[in-house]
Structure formats: structure tokens, C-alpha cells
Amino acid sequence: MSRTAFFISDGTGITAETLGRSLLAQFESLEIRMVTKPYIDSTEKAQQLADVIQATAARDGETPIIIDTIVDQTIRGIISQAPGFKVDVFTTFLAPLEEELKVHSSYSVGRTHSIGQDDVYMHRIDSVHFALDNDDGARVSQYDTADVILVGVSRCGKTPTSLYLALQFGIRAANYPLTEDDLDEDGNLKMPRALAPHRHKLFGLTIDPRRLAAIRTERRPNSRYCSIDQCLQEVQQAEALYRRFHIPYIDTTRFSIEEISTRLIAETGLQRRFSPR
């Protein structure tokens, strides 16, 4: 069975899409086409979208799922006339909260994902810049100001995790690649000199060698870099290093960036500087 789901907002649509995807992910047996429609902030846009929803229902032979965070009641009224199963986030949750808190909400468009407090916004930007500046061991001299330093072999997820930690939580995350340059005389990974003073900040990432080989093949096919033997050796050496120096680590093979980041925070006790958006 195939259905279409619309995530509609008069702002960025991030809240509607995040909630909608979380809910619909529970229905694995269904094929659901997801469509995000942000900035539906005029009656003209609302009517055009209502027409699209009407045409979609006719094409699919099923009413679409409509999840919205529309604030304006006129715009919401136009959308409500379109055929679909509707989940109105604000009406569902704000009314009971108003009753409990005995205060009327401001019903402001885009409040969640606007710049809001300048200090929070600027800290978010600063953290992202830090992650970019300290990607792949680029500036080891800045490690004293890092909150965490991710270590691992090439292509195990260090860079996207660093950026996600910065953007979503304001955590200053650097990352350092473990390479053959870090091998000792016996062919085992040793603690890199740049990392030694910051052992308390280290967090390791590992990955299944077969998955690593597949990822590397996309980047550099038919090379020693992507061979299964090379990947197996690097992963084994990295995990041995983590165990030797008691560096906490997780296997990223079956985890999303969101899961990796959340597990890292939980295991290290890092303080989030603000809530995810």
C-alpha cells in the first residue's frame, strides 16, 4: 500500500517533518511518500497546496496524511478543507498545555527555529566553525578548547558526528584520523603525540570492516585503501588502541548520526549547551 504524507508549516517545516517522520517510521510495511511544504504563510499558497493535496488523493486513491504546525487559523482552515487524515500539532498539544499552565500561548510563527537569543545562535555558529577548523586533525593546537575529540580510522563517521554535535548541541568537537603514521615499531597503533595531553577528551568510533570497505570503495574504488584486508587491519588496530588506553568507543555501523551523538553524550556526560532544533 502506498500513501502520501504532507508535512506543512508556515515556518521552516522542521518540527512538522521531524514529528511526522518519527511517527510514520513505525509503519515499516507501508510505502509512504513524504512531502515537506514549508513557508505556507499566505492564503494563496494555502489554496495552491490544498489543490495539490486534492490531486494527490485522486492520484493515489487514498487520502493523504497531513501533519501541520500552521499557526494562522485562516490558512489552517483552507488546508483543513483538503481531503486527508489531519494531525494538527498545535491544536493537539497547545490547548491542553494552555489549560494546564493557565496561560495563553503566543502562537508565534517560526519561534522554534528562529535565531531567537543571539548568544545561543552565535554559539551554534562558533561550534560549527570549530568543528570545520578541527576536522581530520587539521589544528591540533586548538584541542585544549575542545569539549570532545573523536578518533577513528578514515570514513568511520567522525566528521558528520562532529558537525552534528556542534549544530544540534553546541558541543565543540574536533576529530583526529588514526593512520599508518601512528604505528609503532611492532606495527601497532600508538597514542598520537597530539592526543596524549587530551586523553580525557577522547572518544573512539569503530565500524564493521565490510561496511568500511563499501564506504571507501565509493570514494576510491580498486585501491588498497578500500580493500577488506586493509579495512580489517585498521579497525582491529584502532579497537586495540581504545582498549589499551581505556578510550570509550562505540560501533557506528548500524547507528545514525543522531544515535551516535546521543550515545556519545550519554556515555561521556558532556553538557549540551542548548537543546536540539
For 114-141, b where at least 16 C-beta lie within 10 A, e where not — what string? Answer: eeeeeeeeebbeebbebbeebbebeebe
What residues does 35 pair with on adjacent strands? 6
Mean pLDDT by 10 residues, the chain (277 residues): 90 87 89 94 96 96 94 91 89 81 69 56 86 92 96 96 92 95 88 96 98 96 96 96 96 94 93 68
Binding region for ADP? 152-159
pLDDT tens track for 62-108:
999 999 999 888 999 999 999 999 998 877 777 788 888 888 876 55
Q: Could you give the 3-state DSSP secondary structure of residue 189?
A: strand
Asked if residue 64 lies in contact with residue 56, where contact means CB atoms within 8 angstroms, the answer is: yes
SS (H, E, C) 21-81: HHHHCCCCCCEEEEEEECCCCCHHHHHHHHHHHHHHHHHHCCCCEEEECCCCHHHHHHHHC
Binding region? 152-159
**Any idea what DSSP says for residue 108?**
-
C-alpha distances in angstroms, 163 versus 3, 4, 115, 261, 275? 34, 31, 19, 10, 15
**What sign does the CA torsion over 94, 35, 3, 255 have?**
negative
pLDDT tens track for 201-220:
999 999 999 999 999 999 99
**Which residue in the block uniquely carries the three cell numbers 510514520?**
24
Q: How many CB atoms lie within 10 A of CB 19?
A: 16
Asked if residue 159 lies in contact with residue 134, where contact means CB atoms within 8 angstroms, the answer is: no
Q: How many residues make up the chain in this entry?
A: 277
